[in-house]
Structure 1
Amino acid sequence: MSRTWKIATAVVATLAASFAAVPSASAATWQSSDKFGSWSNGGYTVRNDVWGGGAGPQTIWANSYSNFGVWANHPNTGGVKSYPHSAKNIGKRISALGTLTSNFNVSRPGSGAYETAYDIWAGNNGYEIMLWMNKQGAVGPIGSKQTSASVGGHSWDVYKGSNGSNQVFSFIRTGNTNSGSVDIKAVMNWLKSRGWMGDETMGEVQFGFEITSSSGGLNFTTNSYSVTSN
């Protein structure tokens, strides 16, 4: 093979890889590379949410609130770079909810540093409750471990801390999963039972990928996600 042919072949391969980097975005109903791009659909809001320092490029795509994903190329440095997610606002006190449950199914890369997580807000954003369904690479929760618990249909290591603006409770699943359901009201009642919060008004239930690094460009996909409350 001639040197010219080798170079041409390498260029074609590079271009093919770049066009394949966001395989679902070109055919999606909505997409955005804006750091804070957002789209409302079916009572949910889908957000790109590239909020961290030192972030690289990220493109979010969505066919619906339930089916969305991102291609992200964030450098291999510390600190959360983004949290692309879909969110539903609840707007009721915990005690006024008959049920608050959610289902999810994701496809995720085997490299990088991130977690697939719910980010749940309550008490006018005074309380942040994170449910880590899986994690990859060098990531860890805010605060210190308080206990282990089986609640909401899963077993967790529970951490408590503060980010300087609000209390943060992190439930880290003891084993990774890419799909399942969670009883969010049961988790909230558990927090109440420990005296860590009162009968707060629920804000948004968000679900997505909290990404620290994805060097070279990685694809994250939510195949399905929904929240049910009454």
Structure 2
Amino acid sequence: MRKILMYAVLATISLAACKKDQSSTQPAGEVKADWTSDNSTNNYTSKAYSPYTVFNNVWGSGYGYQSIWANNGNNWGIWSNHPNTSGIKSYPNSERKVQRLLSSLNSLTSHYDVTVPADGSWGADYDVWTNNDKYEIMLWMNYRGNVGPIASAYPNGVAQINVANKSVGGHTWNIYKGPVNANGKQVFSFLRTSNSLVGDVNIKDIMNYLRNDLQWIGNETIDRVQFGFEVTSTAGGRDHRVNNYTVSFN
């Protein structure tokens, strides 16, 4: 009886060690998910969880492997192994359509709660798009490594801050105005002055600040709100998880 029990214990230890070893090279093996996919055959797989849609969205030059899992549009994550080179490799995200004129919105808010790795190069960011993608408003909630905003000027190789330490939308930001590209799109980047893992952001207040105070935009139609991870490097494999994400408007 003691021998059988000893074998059972050893088997349990061996299985646990095997799982631990596997998790160091494979994506989130113990995550129970409604949907999983990866970029081995398609870089742009997606799953609709009305009113959200989750996208894997691997698009940058020199990308590596990336898998995605989701239980719904509010709880999802990725495991990625992108090489330690410059340039964005992917932006996996969850998106909610808004498609309302800014002036017609009484409120537009979002909640985020993420788990991120301690190394690599990436950002946990919102992308707020106006109609026809004329403007892209990026809200950098948490970021590390070799990443930075698109900006109009880079004196001495450093992005120029247009507005420093501005408190709006429930957070304090450094704000960068990017150039208009060949397609007529302009990027405005709000980089939080300290990293955050969980919180709420008042997106309407930020859009009104862009319109009324900075006068960088007009009374635009807010097309969609995305939140996800802009990944540059996760060499060796890293997890990013969205524990909870919501977008609300009326």
**TM-score (norm. length: structure 1):** 0.91
Pair 1:185–1:217, CA change in 2 (3 A): same
- Alignment partners' CA distance in 1, 2:225 and 2:173: 19
- Per-residue deviation at 1:115? 0.6
The 8 Å contact of residues 114 and 139 in structure 1, kept in 2 or not, is answered as: yes
How far does the alpha carbon of each residue in 1:124-145 deviate from its partner, in whole angstroms, 9 at most, with x for none?
2000000000111111000031
Q: Is 1:30 aligned to residue 32 of structure 2? A: no
Question: In structure 1, what is the equivalent of residue 161 of structure 2?
Answer: 145
Aligned length: 219
Indicate the residue corresponding to 2:172 in structure 1: 155
Q: CA deviation at 1:17?
A: 3.6
Offset of 1:162 from its aligned partner? 2.8
Partner of 2:86: 78
Corresponding residue of 2:12: none
Residues 215-226 of structure 1 aligned to structure 2 (within 5 Å): 215-226=235-246
Q: Note the alpha carbon deviations across 1:89-135, whole angstroms, 9 max, x for none.
A: 10001000000000010000000000100011013200000000011
Structure of higher CA gyration radius: 2
Once the two structures are superposed, the pairs formed by residues 1-230 of structure 1 within 5 Å of their partners are 16-17=22-23, 20-25=26-31, 27-33=32-38, 34-143=42-151, 144-148=160-164, 149-162=166-179, 164=181, 165=183, 166-193=185-212, 194-230=214-250
**Deviation by residue 1:150-198 (Cα, 9 ceiling, x = unmatched):** 1000000000113623100000000000000000000000000111000
Letter in 1 for 2:235: S
Distance 2:188 2:216 in 1: 9
CA distance change for structure 1 residues 69 and 24 in 2, over 3 Å: closer, same or farther? Answer: farther
Deviations 1:41-91 (A, max 9, x none): 021110000010100000010001000000000000000000000000100
Task: Name stretches of at least 5 consecutive residues in structure 2 with no aligned partner.
Answer: 1-17, 152-159
CA distance in structure 2 between the partners assigned to 1:19 and 1:74 by the alignment: 13
Q: Distance in 2 between matches of 1:163 and 1:29?
A: 40
Distance 2:198 2:21 in 1: 33
Letter in 2 for 1:217: G
Please, what TM-score do these two structures have when normalized by structure 2? 0.84
CA contact (8 A) 1:104 1:180 kept: yes
Change (3 A) 1:163 1:216: farther
Please give the per-residue CA displacement for 1:11-51, whole angstroms capped at 9, x wherever unaligned.
x68962456532355x2100111310000002111000001
Change (3 A) 1:13 1:38: closer
> What is the CA–CA distance in structure 1 between the aligned matches of 2:51 and 2:27, rounded to whole Å?
29
d(CA) in 1 for partners of 2:245 and 2:37? 20
Paired with 2:19 and 2:54, the residues of 1 have a C-alpha distance of 33
Superposed structure 1 runs of 4+ greater than 6 Å apart = none
Q: Residues 220 and 184 (structure 1 numbering): CA distance in 2 closer, same or farther, change over 3 Å?
A: same
Q: Percent identity?
A: 46
Where do 5+ consecutive residues of structure 1 fail to align? 1-11
Match of 2:5 in 1: none
- Which has the larger displacement, 128-137 or 12-21? 12-21
- Which residue identity lines up with residue 22 of structure 1 in the other structure? A
CA RMSD after TM alignment: 1.7
